[in-house]
Amino acid sequence: MRDRLWNGLKDIEETHLNGCLEQGVSNILNVSFNYVEGESLIMALKDLAVSSGSACTSASLEPSYVLRALGMSDELAHSSIRFSLGRFTTEEEIDYTIDLVKRSIGRLRDLSPLWDMFKQGVDISTIEWSHH
């Protein structure tokens, strides 16, 4: 079921698998959706029991040190979601999840000026943000 979920999500633009499917736990999928704040996505996925980051830092607002150890930027770590599947999870539930995630990411990115800049080809890492 985890692989079915990944196969349904991986074609979303700027989506990254965190970890390795072959060596990972078979019922957990950790994915980052660039230009989407993980906490915002969790709120949009209110029908699902998902969490941000890794289990090691689920109570913290700091980026996961596990994801950082994998070489991930703070921004990408903050955009990660952990899906934990139960042994009774059905294909229909996975398909519902895929559809809900795709729609939610679309809505959140529609609100994101960073997503607009990325789509226009702006290298966001070169932007100097003012300090107030």
Distance of alpha carbon 20 from alpha carbon 106, whole angstroms: 26
pLDDT at 103 over 60: yes
> Would you name the residues annotated as active-site residues?
56
pLDDT of residue 63: 64
Give 2-122's CATH code, choosing from 3.40.30.10, 3.40.50.720, 3.40.190.120, 3.90.1150.10.
3.90.1150.10
Predicted confidence (pLDDT) per residue in 38-59, tens digit? 999 999 999 898 988 555 555 5
What are the structural domain ranges in the chain? 2-122
Q: In the structure encoding, which two tokens stand for residue 124, read together?
A: 């966001």
pLDDT over 70 percentage in the chain? 86
CA angle, 73 as apex, 71 and 75 as ends, to 5°? 155
